[in-house]
A and B are shown apart, each in its own frame.
Chain A
């Protein structure tokens, strides 16, 4: 059992941050790695990337968007409640190296993951530029935190309610037009966004790292449910990833695979709402 010691709503109602006690995991987890949790006995095993860790207090923080039953359940937990199962750290543990200028691009709840990865890049002395985007201003998260980490931060909203009017790729275009030297791009967010970023960076031949979020069961390499095609080869995202060379990822396949249980997910959510 892992007790929730802090809970915040980052945006109204649907972007939540919770901090749970997990001393052993906090000691071991690196930026970009994730945990699998199960809220209660009937719950699903759900992978969630860790946004912060606090080794001293033995806690990890998870930021998630309420999308389905598990995230809704997680959102309904209060400080002092506990999560039944929490396992980690998962995902390959890569060490960040100094490459020069890193542009981090985050969309939606992916910003939380991006922030942690950017911390990793910052620790080894890279120069950071951030691009974060959301549908509208009210859904934007971690702006201050990203601001603090990055030399420069560009914010976009789809509806123009804040920052640049447009998509994160528009912001990336602007950097390219300004002839900013970019050694590495990191993109975390919805698959559509990552695919769009990769299509662009491929053109400019900028190495691009993406953090994928396929459907997972165990998260330990045991089921193969999380398989993605990278450079024509099948990889298990939970152990070989979740970070991959974005130029090699078959995004279309992954998008379809992620839809596999869409109908069941709706059923699950609806039944839980009706039961309430």
Chain B
């Protein structure tokens, strides 16, 4: 596509321009009853002959008619206003072919702006300078995705947001400035060609757009829903400096959903079989990305998952109302169609050790076991009944479908007054789940302020709409039980913010004498997670950090054991889906190079 055409995209294709002479300000547009069309009428001279040139004012099509011979490729001597006779040709050169350009004035977005056309016959360059373009940029505000009403959705587990539809997506896509140096790409951990896919949306090429995203991001339907866009691409969006940024996440979700719902997902052509076997431990975003990449590179891949369902946090943690499990299932299905084998109920470290995987013929192992160990606060009374980890609560409800008890056998913990400790996505997920499970009063207890909360903005907003209370600058210090050892109260202390700590966030300091009691009958601890040590019981030589995470080199993902890579939360600690996928992709590239390269050096 021609560069200049891209640049002019901010005026929508098909727009009819009103054109004026820059000297006499008379309209150049005329209506021709013969063709029943509006034309831009200009006086033209070529090789001494004078005549009349008609151009379609349609912004994207460039029809022309003339009453004198205008052969393709010649540069006309002059273009002038048929009314005042002044020449329109100026110093400026066509950006396409370098011929002189003529300047008109157009009326767009209540402003008069310069608009150039090339004087070479057949050159379709027409457009305006970037500065002018910005001036006439139509003010379209960020399109909101339709969502379930808050009163309705707290009674069900259906997805909250419906996503953008085709029309909203087109309008939203038109907001993208298509920057020359897109800051959004640099702010994306896997460098998705964001302006590129948005351009394809504008052209109505939704499936192509999805494929472009997939070149960098294997799970766009997931990431479009759960990525912290407000901290990544959308934070960098230039538009965001003045107004709201382009809704990149919603657009990503739109194309991925479009591709899936229209059955347009193409199975990529796999490279010829290499005869190499890869074992992937863990089926979270990291493991799934690794499996997809390696199987398309021609290796034979088996994924080992300890749970009875693949997907990692995507199935056991993130609730249905935020990420429908059908989407995760279709991604897994896609992997199976690619030929990936998935062995469920298989705990590496217990059923097989890494060493045994090599002995049974695997050439490489990827460890993507996540950060699945719940962290408790080690406060007095924390083992009272109905105090549980976020992992337990979410696993019971999402993975074991306790919300459908007794149709499903797993019971769900219940409470009327629920306190959720923590301020991340996990805490929001628990709070919003508790609301849906019928708890009357659900509070988030967080020791810093709203600004420091790590949760996605959308989640905190949704939680608030659903009636979750926020008790900020508050920290629990002990739990009090009744005579049956059920939690009945929680003692808290008020905090204030001090100097920034190692994480760069202000350190919360308790305010002396501010202790108070809060009635609760269920507490969910969502203050973080650690690495699950089960894997290591069978592989003591896998080097780990002081906090128990696997030591892996960036970007290769190589660990201390030759032939073993690691990536995702098991290396970084609880992070994000996209970072886990990014790490897995880099590890896959390194693993592929290692497997294909005869010499097995490990540094």
Contact = CB atoms under 8 A, between A and B. Distances in A.
B386 A260 contact: yes
B373 A221 contact: yes
B298 interface: no
Contacts of A223: 374, 388-389, 391-392, 395
Given A220-B306, A220-B532, A260-B385, A93 B537 contact: yes
B484 interface: yes
B410 A45 contact: yes
B132 to A, nearest CB: 59
Nearest to A40: B409
B269 to A, nearest CB: 34
Contacts of B400: 44-45, 217
A229 B485 CA distance: 14
Interface in A177-232: 217-218, 220-225, 227-229
A264 B405 contact: yes
A224 B388 contact: yes
Contacts of B307: 218
Interface in B358-394: 372-374, 376, 378, 382-383, 385-386, 388-389, 391-392
Contacts of A88: 347, 350-351
A158 B596 CA distance: 70
A271 B382 contact: no
Contacts of B413: 260
B405 A87 contact: no
B308 A85 contact: yes
A32 B31 CA distance: 93
Interface in A122-175: none
Nearest to A269: B406
B405 to A, nearest CB: 7
Nearest to A229: B383
Contacts of A229: 383
Contact of A221 (B351, B411, B534): B534
A261 B532 contact: no
Interface centre among A88, A223, A261 (most CB of B within 10 A): A223
Given A44-B410, A85-B308, A88-B351, A221 B383 contact: no
Interface in A24-58: 24-25, 28, 38, 42-45
A86 interface: yes
A234 B376 CA distance: 9
A265 interface: yes
Interface residues of A, number: 45
B345 A86 contact: yes
B385 A257 contact: yes
B499 interface: no
Contact of B391 (A93, A224, A265): A224
B392 A217 contact: yes
A22 to B, nearest CB: 10
Contacts of A89: 350-351
B409 A69 contact: yes
B373 A268 contact: no
B345 A85 contact: yes
B408 interface: yes
The secondary structure that dominates the A interface is: mixed
B407 interface: yes
A261 to B, nearest CB: 5
B532 A222 contact: yes
B561 interface: no
B478 to A, nearest CB: 14
Interface centre among B346, B400, B411 (most CB of A within 10 A): B411
A70 interface: yes
A224 B389 contact: yes
A101 to B, nearest CB: 30
A90 B532 CA distance: 14
Contacts of B407: 42
B532 to A, nearest CB: 5
Interface in A239-256: 239, 252-253, 256
Nearest to B483: A256
A95 B340 CA distance: 37
A220 B537 contact: no
A2 B263 CA distance: 35
Contacts of A42: 401, 407-409
A11 interface: no
Contacts of A97: none
B351 A28 contact: yes
Nearest to A238: B534
Nearest to B375: A224
B485 to A, nearest CB: 4
Contacts of A221: 372-373, 532-534
A220 B534 contact: yes
A239 B534 contact: yes
Given A256-B484, A268-B406, A271-B406, A224 B308 contact: no
A260 B384 CA distance: 10
B413 to A, nearest CB: 7
A125 B385 CA distance: 42
Nearest to B388: A225
B409 A253 contact: no
Contacts of A272: 406
A32 to B, nearest CB: 14
B383 A70 contact: no
Contacts of B108: none
A84 B372 CA distance: 24
B308 A38 contact: yes
Contacts of B344: 85
A218 B347 CA distance: 12
Contacts of A267: 405-406, 411
Contacts of B409: 42-44, 69-70, 268
B396 interface: yes
Nearest to A256: B485
A28 B351 CA distance: 7
Nearest to A25: B351
Contacts of A28: 350-351
B66 to A, nearest CB: 74
A70 B306 CA distance: 21
B367 to A, nearest CB: 15
B374 to A, nearest CB: 4
A227 B407 CA distance: 27
B514 to A, nearest CB: 27
Contacts of A271: 406
B395 A253 contact: no
Given A256-B485, A260-B386, A224 B378 contact: no
B40 to A, nearest CB: 68
Nearest to A240: B533
A59 B396 CA distance: 29
A227 B375 CA distance: 12
B241 to A, nearest CB: 43
Contacts of A261: 411
A75 B105 CA distance: 86
A234 B383 contact: yes
| 10 A-B pairs closest in CB distance | A264-B411, A223-B392, A44-B409, A87-B345, A256-B485, A224-B389, A85-B308, A271-B406, A224-B374, A222-B372
10 contacts: A44-B408, A69-B409, A85-B344, A87-B347, A88-B350, A217-B392, A221-B372, A267-B411, A268-B409, A268-B411
Given A42-B401, A220-B372, A224-B374, 7 more contacts: A24-B346, A44-B409, A224-B376, A225-B388, A239-B534, A253-B383, A264-B406
